[in-house]
Each structure stands twice: as structure tokens, then as C-alpha cells.
A and B are shown apart, each in its own frame.
Chain A
Amino acid sequence: MAHTLIEKIIGNNVNKDVKPGNIVTVNVDWCMVDDIMAPFTIKKFEEMGFSKVWDPDKIVLIYDHFLPATQTDDSRHFREADAFADKYGIKNVHRTDGICHQLMTEAGYVKPGDIAFGTDSHTVTYGCVGAFSTGIGYTEMAGILGTGQLWIKVPETIRVNINGKLPDNVTSKDVILRIIGDLTASGATYMALEFSGDTIDAMSVSSRMTMANMAVEAGAKCGVFAPDEKTCEYCGIAYDDKVKSLRPDPDAVYAKVMEYKAEEFVPVTACPSLVDNIKPVSEVKGTKVDQVFLGSCTNGRLEDLQAAAEILKGKHIAPYLKMIVTPASRKIYLEALKDGTLDILSDAGAIITTPGCGLCCGRGGGILSDGETVVATNNRNFLGRMGTSKVNIYLASPKTAAATALKGEITEME
């Protein structure tokens, strides 16, 4: 029987032929617990009565939402997670290295074909390397910590084909925003998104990460990309037959197929306060902006910072506007330091903060107040996400964000 990519990944894991709708119990390759959810997960784990974790080497603890801490109770989360790690022999603890979803692939954990779960909805990001990953709650995570298993329903797949060359002012962020707009915020609920086409082939793993990361904003269970040579290079593994087999069969059955011509994409933005409220940037051009945020697990990677730097080089952001740049990880910060990107951004007036979730999680990193408008490269613009419910959040690409920062009003890169 022919299979979509997600069916293959799940089928390989449970070692049988699966089809959408099947409820199967998968063996978990990786699980990730972030700092917000750690104490809650640990409490549930203890309530469940486990005396050990199923495999300490497959558990990764990452402190990112509360770094640097803004409330006096925040560091309790670090301490409780540290104590748990010590007690159960968990060595994969990242205390100050960056955002969880960046680290899970960057630090070499999740590889093509793996199944991973995390206590954060953007765990879908690892689909960028051809893994099945999705967010779960802390109770289910506690169950996985004890058993190494989780039941899942094999999802139907929506295939998204994109072919051609994207315009210069369009990034993969515009692409995924447009797709979410077309699907709506619940259009892919319970389903997998599978991205393919020569536009996708031409994209870097980082660009694919942006798209996989946002699959959840269409309600999807995951967003997957078949691994290719670039993926293997990024993951530091051989492009062998096993990896090559992780491709959808040509006659696989899809719930829906969406076709796009790359040339037809334009810079878009998700307008307040829903991720599927997508408009071309040209339609909201001129909207006055108080702050620009470049960062997050969606768009805080080196290529994103470089794209902004290219636009801002030798220039200065608009007066009274704040531009906050939060690299997604320590590694990215270091790379951007070494290649001069941070120098350019700082010269342009950007405030470069420490790697972490920053503003995206709404606990620090540039919170706004009533009546203010922010253009942000992250993944959510929900009401109240970055301050009060009277803050207007526009989601956009790093290029649009940088162009907007220069002008002080929403604008697209020329």
C-alpha cells in the first residue's frame, strides 16, 4: 500500500502498515521538556508512581522561556528540573543554550525518521528534518517519561506542492503564512502537512524549519519535509538508503493537495489577532509601528538575522522605534557575532538580547502596552500574547520586519 511521509515514519516506528485513523502506540525516540512545563510534568510523573524514567538519555530538558528570569519564582523551575535530572540521571540539560525547538535538531538529537514529543506546541518544528514531532501536555509527557510510549492517531495528510522560484522579498515565512491563511487556523486540525516541490528542495533547512514550526498554527499535528542531502548535512548523518526511503510514495493518498507557484507569493503579514488573518503587506503598508521583533523558534536563525542585516547595513532604524533581536540559540549568536551580523544590527540601533524565547512567550523581551503596534517574526499574534489585549501584533518575515524597522511603518522590502 502506498504511504504518505508521516504514514511511513509512524509505520516504521510501530513496524506495521498504518493508515490514517489507526490508533497506534509509538515508541518515543526523543522527548523534550521545557522550563515552564518542567515542574508540572515532574509533579504528574511523581503522582503516577513511577520510580525511574524509561530512558534518561532520550529525555532533553531545556530552559528557554524564563531566561533571563523576569519573576522571582522563575528560577524555581530551573531548580526543580535540575533536581529531577540529578535524581534520574538525565544528562541532556540545556540551561542557557537557546530555544528548545532550535536545540532539538541543532544539538543533534532529532534525526530523520525519529518520533519526538515536547511540552510545547511548536515541537512540530522537527518535521523540518523529516521527523514526526508534536506538542503534548505535561500529563502525557509524564506518562512518556515513565513508559517511553504514547498513543496517537495516524493523521491524514495534506500535501502542499510549491514549485518555481520565490521573489527576492519573499521568504519561507511568507509562504507558510499564506498557506495558513488559505487553510485557516483549524484547516489542518488532526492532520499532517507534507511540503514538497522544487521550491522546497531549494530551501535551506532553516527555511523549512520556519514552515514546519508554524504547521501547528493551521491546527496540524505536524508539518513534515522529506529529508534530502541538505537535511543529512545539517544532521551530520549519511544520506543513505534508510534516509532515502523516507519519501512519500507517488501514489500515496492525500486528504487534499494544494498547489502553489512560487512566483505568485508576495510578502504577507498575519494581522491582529489571528494567525490566519493574512493580508499582503502592501495592503497594510503605512501602519505605524512602535517595535519590531526579530527572533523566536520561527525566525531567529542565522539566515534570518543575515537577511535583516543586509537590509539594515549602514542604516539606522526609525527614531523612537525599538528593534529587538533575539537569536534562537547560543550557536547562532556566536555565528552572527563572528560573521559581523550582530555588529551591523547593533550599528543600526537594534537591541540584541540573550538567546531564548524572549518576547514570543510574552514574559519579557519587549512587552508592549495599550495601543502599541509590533511587527514580529514569531509564530503567534494572539490577543494579549505580547502584553495587553490592546497591543496589535503583525507577524511577518525577517525581511519585512527589517524594512519596517527602517521606515517606522509597515512596509515590504523593495
Chain B
Amino acid sequence: MNQTFEAKIWVLGDDIDTDIILPTEYLALKTVDDMKPYAFSPLRPELAGMIKPGDMIVAGKNFGCGSSREQAPEVVKALGISCIVAKSYARIFFRNAINNGLLLIENSELHDAVTEGDTAKVTPGEQIEYNGKIYKIESLPDNLMEILDAGGLVNAMRKKNGL
């Protein structure tokens, strides 16, 4: 998980709730791929179509607040988002993202500094380099790293079940 990568930045604000990430109307579509076009649609209907695999999201506080819908982190991951850097996360979204192997980084400063469309260099567990400045980031607790390392909770459970 510690491979450094560069990513183009999309900037979102505070309190990006799960209804914004994926409205209820599209929750029951059969596959996550079917849901992709509607991600973030109440706020920025064009965004899902513009995100390219490998891009990152930088957001304000309380990202993912609201419902327990796991389609929210799944659809973000399906869009190819490499990581989210937010000031803070709502707890259910946080767990769901980790369980799906979506990298979440908490940082309180980057959001105020970035401009959409720029790129940043991310080294998970260590730092983010943006515009010549280094932003330190923390590593996740061990039990979560185990899930991430297994590639998400499904794989962790498969291992447990001897598969």
C-alpha cells in the first residue's frame, strides 16, 4: 500500500453526504457500473463523466455523512478514484470504504490549499506532496490495515473460510 502515485485532484466541499455521492434513486441498480454515471449528480452532475481512473478527491470535513449505503464508497472506487483526502470522514462511510479497499486519508490542511485540476503526489501512510509542499499523513490502525492488505473484507473473510 505504500507505493507513491500521482493523481489529478477533484475538489469537493464540507459535508459531502451519501445522497450526493449516490442518490437513493440509483441505489438498487443491479451493478455498481450501472450506478457510476449518477455519482455526485445532485451536486455536480457532470463530475462522474469527467473523473478518470487514478484521479483523487480532496474534500472538507465530514465526508460521507448520512446513510450506511455501501454503494457510496463502491461507486467512488468504481470510478477509479485512487484515494480521498478529507478533513474528516463520517464513520460508516469510513468503515465501508476500508472494507472495499478504497484508500481514505485524513488531512486538515490540504483542502484549503488545493486547486481543482492540479496534481498531487501521494505516498500512503507517509505524505502528500502538493505545489512544492509536504503534507504529513497518518497510517491506519493495524486491524484496518489487515483488511486493506487482504484487499477488502470479502477477501479477508474468504481467507478465514479457507477459500
A interface with B by C-beta (< 8 Å): 23, 36-37, 39-40, 44, 47-50, 66, 71, 73-74, 77, 118-121, 123, 134-140, 142-143, 146-147, 151, 185-186, 189-190, 216, 219, 221, 274, 361-363, 380, 382-385, 388-389
Contact partners of B24 in chain A: CB under 8 A? 36, 361-363, 385
- With known contacts A48-B154, A137-B99, A219–B62 Cβ distance under 8 A: yes
Determine if A274 and B67 form an interchain contact, defined as CB atoms under 8 angstroms apart.
Answer: no
Cβ A140 vs Cβ B95 within 8 A: yes
In angstroms, Cα B96 to Cα A196, docked, is 31
Can you list 9 A-B contacts with CB-CB less than 8 angstroms, sorted by A residue number?
A36-B27, A36-B69, A37-B68, A44-B154, A48-B157, A135-B68, A139-B154, A219-B62, A362-B24
Report which of A23, A37, A50, A146 forms a contact with B143, defined as CB distance below 8 A. A23
Q: Are A221 and B43 in contact (CB under 8 A)?
A: no
Q: How large is the interface on B (under 10, 10 to 19, 20 to 34, 35 or more residues)?
A: 35 or more
Residues of B at the A interface (CB closer than 8 Å) are 15, 17-20, 23-25, 27-28, 30, 41-43, 61-62, 65-71, 73, 88-92, 95-96, 99-100, 141, 143, 152-154, 157-158, 161-163
A120 touching B15 by the CB < 8 A rule? no
CA distance A136 to B100 in the complex (A): 13
Contact among A49, A118, A221, A363 for B157, CB-based, below 8 A: A49
Closest to A119 in B: B68
B71 in complex: contacting residue of A40, A135, A389, CB < 8 Å? A40
Quick one: which of A66, A134, A139, A143 contacts B96, CB cutoff 8 A? A139
Partner of A121, one of B30, B67, B88, B161: B67
In the bound complex, residues from chain B placing their C-beta under 8 Å from that of A189 are: 62, 88-91
Task: Provide the bound-state CA to CA distance between A158 and B73, in Å.
Answer: 28
Of A50, A186, A385, the contact of B90 (CB 8 Å cutoff):
A186
Closest partner residue, chain B, to A388 (CB atom): B42
Whether A185 touches B15, Cβ cut-off 8 Å, given contacts A137-B68, A383-B43, is yes
Task: Identify B65's interface contact among A47, A123, A186, CB under 8 A.
Answer: A186
For B92, the closest partner residue in chain A by CB is A135
Q: How many whole Å from A65's CB to the nearest CB in chain B?
A: 8
Q: Quick one: which of B18, B19, B90, B158 has the most chain A CB within 10 A? A: B19
Which residues of B sit under 8 angstroms from A362, Cβ to Cβ?
A: 19, 23-25
* Cβ–Cβ < 8 Å partners of B88 in chain A: 186, 189
Known: A383-B19, A389-B42. 19 other contacts (CB 8 A): A23-B141, A37-B69, A118-B68, A137-B68, A137-B73, A140-B96, A142-B153, A142-B157, A146-B157, A189-B90, A189-B91, A190-B91, A274-B15, A361-B24, A362-B23, A363-B24, A382-B17, A384-B19, A384-B20
A363 touches B153 (CB 8 A): no
How far apart sit A28 and B100, CA to CA, in the bound complex (Å)? 22
Q: Is the CB of A121 within 8 A of B66?
A: yes
Partner of A139, one of B41, B153, B161, B162: B153
Q: Using Cβ atoms and an 8 Å threshold, which residues of chain A touch B41?
A: 384
Contacts of A74 in B (CB 8 A): 28
A345–B147 CA distance with the chains assembled, in angstroms: 52
Contact B19 A380 (CB under 8 A): yes
B42 touches A135 (CB 8 A): no
Which residues from chain B contact A37 at a C-beta distance below 8 Å?
Answer: 68-70
The answer to whether B90 and A219 touch across the interface, beta carbons within 8 angstroms, is: yes
Residues of B within 8 A of A40 (CB): 70-71
Which of A23, A120, A151, A186 is B68 in contact with, Cβ under 8 Å? A120
CA distance A143 to B147 in the complex (A): 12
Determine how close the nearest CB of chain B comes to the CB of A153; give it in whole angstroms. Answer: 8
**Cα A137 to Cα B69 with chains together (Å):** 6
User: Which residues of the partner chain B approach A66 to less than 8 Å between Cβ atoms?
Assistant: 28
> Which residues of A have CB within 8 Å of B152?
139
User: Is the Cβ of B66 less than 8 Å from the Cβ of A382?
Assistant: yes
- List the B side residues contacting A185 at CB < 8 Å: 15, 62, 65
Measured CA separation A216–B24 after assembly (Å)? 18
Interface pair B19/A382, CB less than 8 Å apart: yes
Closest to A277 in B: B15
A382's partner among B20, B61, B141 (CB-CB below 8 A) is B20
- Given contacts A48-B158, A185-B62, A186-B62, whether A139 and B42 have CB atoms under 8 Å apart is no
Known: A23-B141, A49-B158, A140-B95. A384 touches B66 (CB 8 A): no
Q: For the complex, what is the distance from the CA of A50 to the CA of B154, rounded to whole Å? A: 11
Q: Which 4 A-B pairs have the closest CB atoms?
A: A384-B42, A137-B70, A186-B62, A135-B68
In the bound complex, how far is the Cα of B117 from the Cα of A408, in angstroms? 46
Q: How far is the CA of A39 from the CA of B27 in the complex (A)?
A: 11
Task: For B161, list chain A residues within 8 Å (CB).
Answer: 48-50, 146
Closest A residue to B73 by beta carbon equals A137
Complex Cα gap A308–B139 (Å): 51
Please name all residues of chain B whose beta carbon is closer than 8 Å to the beta carbon of A361 when the two chains form the complex.
24
User: How far apart are the CA atoms of A48 and B162 in the complex, in Å?
Assistant: 10
Q: When the two chains form their complex, are residues B96 and A137 in contact, meaning their CB atoms are under 8 A apart?
A: yes
Do residues A219 and B157 form an inter-chain contact, with CB atoms below 8 A?
no
Chain B, residue nearest A134 (CB): B92
